[in-house]
Amino acid sequence: MPPGSQFLMKSQKFFRYVWRVDAVLILAAAGIAVFGIGSLLLEEFVARSAQVRDQRKGIPVGAAESNENLTLERAVIVSGTSVMRANLVMSREGKGFSSGGYNETRNILFIDPNQKAAHWLLPDNDHVISETTEVTDERDPMVKPVIATVVLVKPESSRSEAVNGRLLLFDSGGTKIVEVGKDVNEFHVASLVSNDITVLYERDRRFVLADFDSASLAKKAEREIDVPQLK
């Protein structure tokens, strides 16, 4: 047999092995992908099933004739206090096979161990709490107690992010509630500066900076911030 023919046969045999290995690897990758997709679908099914069980067995929070999927989330301790807090959420189904739906926070329930009755932040569930920011005392790095919380509350009837809302500031127990501003376009940041809580937000396409006493939450000052135009 000519040397060239022997080399050609060996090359063909080598490439056949390579093709077989590639086929096995492709088959294994396809199996892993199918297994991963199946696991995600199973997790979503289990999560939705658990959510349905929670809605049926959870503490009733709405009218008996209401068909809204209102559920209290697991309560958490407000850092630095003994107060417990739980979000009231509404579950909305997603559209399409791949959409898993989403939850809207409609209210916040406060549970004080020293009080017999819990109380709500809002008087109804007709609003959506779109943003929540905790103002903590960073001077205590071990605990970082919550001094106050800022939330942006928008009408439930609107799904648009462009709709304005009310900006509220409340203490760790939800007993002191003050309105930071109306017709708020967007909330940016809140922080504790010395003994004041400083809140920055947008209203009428302008920055507004408001200062509140950290103990009483009384408003101390409010001013608009000028933003120079670029040339």
pLDDT tens digits for range 183-219 = 999 999 999 998 999 999 999 999 999 999 999 999 9
**Does 169 map to a domain?**
yes
Gap between the Cα atoms of 53 and 135, Å rounded: 34
Structure tokens at 95: 């559209």
- pLDDT of residue 48 exceeding 50, the answer is no
Q: Do residue 64 and residue 30 come from a single domain? A: no
Q: Do residue 150 and residue 70 come from a single domain? A: yes
**Does 221 map to a domain?**
yes
**Does 26 map to a domain?**
yes
Query: What total of structural domains would you count in the chain?
Result: 2
Q: Do residue 177 and residue 167 come from a single domain? A: yes
Q: What was the pLDDT predicted at 156?
A: 83
Q: Do residue 69 and residue 50 come from a single domain? A: no
Gap between the Cα atoms of 109 and 121, Å rounded: 6
**Does 77 map to a domain?**
yes
**Does 230 map to a domain?**
no
**Does 206 map to a domain?**
yes
**Does 31 map to a domain?**
yes
Structure tokens at 150: 């800022």
Q: Do residue 48 and residue 112 come from a single domain? A: no
What percent of the chain is predicted at pLDDT more than 90?
A: 55
Q: Do residue 131 and residue 52 come from a single domain? A: no
Gap between the Cα atoms of 17 and 11, Å rounded: 10
Query: Domain residues for 216?
Result: 58-225
Q: What angle do CA 113, 115, 119 make, to 5 degrees?
A: 100
Q: Do residue 45 and residue 75 come from a single domain? A: no
Boundary residue ending a domain (14, 29, 57): 57
Mean pLDDT value of segment 71-99: 84
pLDDT-based confidence at residue 46 (cuts at 50, 70, 90): very low
**Beta carbons within 8 Å of 44's beta carbon, 6+ residues apart:** 100
* Strand-pair partners of 143: none
What is the reported pTM?
0.70
pLDDT-based confidence at residue 21 (cuts at 50, 70, 90): low
